[in-house]
């Protein structure tokens, strides 16, 4: 995969597909981790004299997070410290005029590409965005692994019309995940509630014998404990409400098939009602061995489990963590997730952290991302790539290189 960092860009009009998709609350973007990451690529190209056109989506049609990119453009300006122009248009006359008028080093942000139906719905990823913007640009850069699993126009479509390259964020993310993909004896630590994603990675890595162990926490652990026949107390209602009881048979099958490789908690932190005379009613943490759970919900792993998991971390060369071990947003139930993250940050292993909640937990505990091998910006794309699947965005870049050779 050729990288834009290796090529001359001065004077070139470059379409840069980033992933500025941020969490949104009441119409405002909250959390700018992705904006900060891609700002580096955008600034780098601008500093080198390119004429930069930023393309991104935000949210999904019909949801509250489906907003324009105006706030993102302002955030980019703040972070980069250079002028950033925004036009509320993607392929219309306003956008096209603004692209034509760019000077060396200028940065232009177009509107949310998903405002065009063709972005997500064109069967071959060659919607009108490709038709209108291709004649106005010299190069295309894909900078986000986090969108590379989507066969959308702005991700795969430009590969038919101009030289395409990987940006720094995509390149770094691929390098990091490849380190793990080529590794053996990888320790996985899975939590959270994205059960299907965890199952997919487990099946892949446990079947070919390259996973050392899978340490389980979060709702995933509750499901496995239930599948193993343990009483999970009031967490059973949670499993039912979230449709996870339907996954119990598959969980049991995995435990049978990969005997001893899937490590479950031996004790847990239960949330039980505290004093009744306070308002709102207090919730307290109660430790319990998994054999003795009767009441309360499982909200964290217990201290003996933490000890076991930390020891595994200390004996690993490669670690992948995806999903928190408990309700890390509450101090009393954050101990498991915090201890695991702290141990990973201290260890010499190459570690890959993925999933929005894992990253939020790391930030909440004040842990420095530089103490981890790589902190991924991707969700589903990371899971698919870890499962060995070919991502359409990455495949498009690789094919493009043969079709549009460029001298350095
Ligand atoms: C994400 O946050 O998962 C990426 O930005 C991709 O968005 P999508 O899941 O809506 O395609
Ligand atoms: Mg997604």
* pTM, two decimal places: 0.94
Beta carbon of 114 within 6 Å of any ligand 1 atom? no
Is the CB–ligand 1 distance for residue 206 below 6 Å?
no
Q: Is 60 in the pocket of ligand 1 (CB under 6 A)?
A: yes
pLDDT at 349 over 80: yes
Interval between CA 76 and ligand 1 midpoint (Å)? 19
Comparing 211 with 407, the larger pLDDT belongs to 211
pLDDT at 281 over 80: no
Average pLDDT, the chain: 96
Q: What pLDDT is stored for residue 275 in this prediction? A: 79
SS (H, E, C) the chain: CCEHHHCCCCCCEEEEECCCCCCEECCEECCCHHHHHHHHHHHHHHHCCCEEEEECCCCCCCCCCCCCCHHHHHHHHHHHCCCCEECCCCCCHHHHHHHHCCCCCCEEECCCHHHCHHHHHCCCCCCHHHHHHHHHCCEEEECCHHHCCCCCHHHHHHHHCCCEEECHHHHHHHHHHHHHHCCCCEEEEECCCCHHHHHHHHHHHHHCCCEEEEEECHHHHHHHHHHCCCCCCCHHHHHHHCCHHHHHHHHHHHHHHCCCCEECCCEEEEEEECCCCCCCCCEEEEEEEHHHCCCCEEEEECHHHHHHHHHHHHCCCEEEEECCCCCCCCHHHCHHHHHHHHHHHHCCCEEEEECHHHHHHHHHCCCCHHHCCEECCCCHHHHHHHCCCCCHHHHHHHHHHHHCCCCC
Instruction: Taking residues 85-96, report their average pLDDT.
Output: 98
Taking the centre of ligand 1 as the mean of its atom positions, its distance from the CA of residue 355, in whole angstroms, is: 12
Give the residue with greater pLDDT, 281 vs 120.
120
From 21, 24, 120, the mutation candidate for ligand 1 (largest count of ligand atoms within 8 A of CB) is: 21
User: Measured from the CB, is residue 146 less than 6 Å from ligand 1?
Assistant: yes
* Ligand 1 pocket check for 147: Cβ under 6 Å: yes
Q: Nearest ligand to the C-alpha of residue 24? A: 1
Model pLDDT for residues 199-225, shown as the tens digit of each residue: 999 999 999 999 999 999 999 999 999
pLDDT at 279: 80
The predicted pLDDT at position 252 comes to 98
Residue whose Cα lies nearest atom 2 of ligand 1: it is 21
Band (pLDDT 50/70/90 cuts) for residue 26 is very high
**153-181: average pLDDT:** 97
Grade residue 31 by pLDDT with cuts at 50, 70 and 90.
confident
**pLDDT (mean) for 272-300:** 91
pLDDT, residue 282, reads 87
Mean pLDDT in residue range 279-290: 91
Residue 123, pLDDT score: 87
Average pLDDT on 329-333 reads 96
**pLDDT digits 0-9 by tens, 42-80:** 999 999 999 999 999 999 999 999 999 999 999 999 999
61 lines ligand 1 (CB under 6 A): no
Q: Which of 156, 379, 382, 391 to mutate to test the pocket of ligand 1 (most atoms within 8 A of CB)?
A: 379
Q: Percent of the chain scored above 70 by pLDDT?
A: 100
Nearest ligand to the CA of 33 is 1
Ligand 2 centroid to Cα of residue 380, in Å, is 6
């Amino acid at each position: 995969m050729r990288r834009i960092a290796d090529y001359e860009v001065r004077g070139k009009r470059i379409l840069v597909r980033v992933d500025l998709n941020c969490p949104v609350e009441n119409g405002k973007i909250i959390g700018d981790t992705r904006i900060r990451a891609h700002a580096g690529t955008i600034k780098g190209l601008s500093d080198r004299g390119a004429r930069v056109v930023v393309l991104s989506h935000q949210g999904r049609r019909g949801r509250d997070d489906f907003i324009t990119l105006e706030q993102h453009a302002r955030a980019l300006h703040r972070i980069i410290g250079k002028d950033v122009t925004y036009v509320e248009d993607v392929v219309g006359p306003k956008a096209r005029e603004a692209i034509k008028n760019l000077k060396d080093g200028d940065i232009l942000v177009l509107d949310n590409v998903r405002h065009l139906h063709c972005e997500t719905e064109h069967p071959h990823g060659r919607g009108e965005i490709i038709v209108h913007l291709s004649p106005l640009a010299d190069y295309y850069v894909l900078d986000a692994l986090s969108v590379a699993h989507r066969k959308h126009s702005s991700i795969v479509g430009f590969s038919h019309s101009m030289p395409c390259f990987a940006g720094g964020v995509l390149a770094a993310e691929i390098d990091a995940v490849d380190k793990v993909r080529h590794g053996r004896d990888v320790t996985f630590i899975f939590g959270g509630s994205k059960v299907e994603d965890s199952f997919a990675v487990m099946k892949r890595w446990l079947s070919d014998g390259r996973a050392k162990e899978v340490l389980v926490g979060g709702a995933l652990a509750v499901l496995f404990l239930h599948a193993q026949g343990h009483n999970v107390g009031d967490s059973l209602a949670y499993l039912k409400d979230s449709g996870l009881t339907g996954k119990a048979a598959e969980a049991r099958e995995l435990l049978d098939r990969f005997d001893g490789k899937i490590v479950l908690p031996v004790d847990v932190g239960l949330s039980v009602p505290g004093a009744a005379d306070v308002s709102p009613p207090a919730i307290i943490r109660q430790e319990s061995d998994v054999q003795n759970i009767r009441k309360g919900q499982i909200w964290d792993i217990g201290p003996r489990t933490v000890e076991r998991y930390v020891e595994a971390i200390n004996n690993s060369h490669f670690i992948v963590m995806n999903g928190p071990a408990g309700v890390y947003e509450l101090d009393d139930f954050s101990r498991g997730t915090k201890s695991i993250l702290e141990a990973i940050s201290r260890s010499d292993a190459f570690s890959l952290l993925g999933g929005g909640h894992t990253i939020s937990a790391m930030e909440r505990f004040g842990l420095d991302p530089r103490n981890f091998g790589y902190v991924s910006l991707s969700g589903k794309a990371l899971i698919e790539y870890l499962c060995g699947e070919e991502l359409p965005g990455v495949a498009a870049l690789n094919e493009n290189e043969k079709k549009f050779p460029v001298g350095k």
